[in-house]
Copies of this chain bind each other. A is one copy, B any other.
Amino acid sequence: MHNLVARLFPICRSITGPGVRETLRILQEFIPIQIHEVPTGTPVFDWTVPREWSIRDAFIADSSGRRLVDFQRNNLHVFGYSTPIDRRMSLSELDEHLFSLPAQPDAIPYVTSYYKERWGFCLTHRQRLELKPDTYHVFIDSKLADGSLTYAECVFPGTTDQEIFLSTYICHPSMANNELSGPVVTTFIAKWIELIPRYYTYRVIFVPETIGSITYLSRHLDHLKKHVIAGFNISCVGDDRAFSCVSSRYGNTLADRIARHALRFISPNYITHSFLDRGSDERQYCSPGVDLPIVGLCRSKYGTYPEYHTSLDNLELVTPTGLAGGYEMVRCCLEALEGNFHYKVNCLGEPCLGKRGLYPTLSRKGSADTVKTMMDFLAYADGTNDLVSIAELIGVSVWELFPIVTQMKASGLISEFEV
Contacts and interface: CB of A to CB of B under 8 A. Distances in A.
A-B pairs, 5 with minimum CB distance: A288-B382, A46-B347, A45-B349, A214-B349, A46-B352
Interface in A251-302: 275-276, 278, 283-284, 286-291
A218 interface: yes
Contact of A349 (B46, B275, B351, B381): B46
B276 A376 contact: yes
A257 to B, nearest CB: 18
Nearest to A278: B379
A273 to B, nearest CB: 14
Given A46-B347, A287-B350, 8 more contacts: A45-B349, A46-B349, A116-B354, A276-B395, A278-B379, A283-B350, A287-B345, A288-B381
Contacts of A290: 348-349
A371 interface: no
B45 A348 contact: yes
Given A115-B354, A383-B288, A348 B218 contact: yes
A344 B349 CA distance: 40
B349 A287 contact: yes
A275 B380 CA distance: 10
A125 interface: no
A370 interface: no
A232 to B, nearest CB: 18
A379 B275 contact: yes
B284 A350 contact: yes
Contact of A210 (B116, B284, B350): B350
Contacts of A217: 348-349
A47 B353 CA distance: 10
Contacts of A287: 345, 348-350, 379
A68 interface: no
A77 interface: no
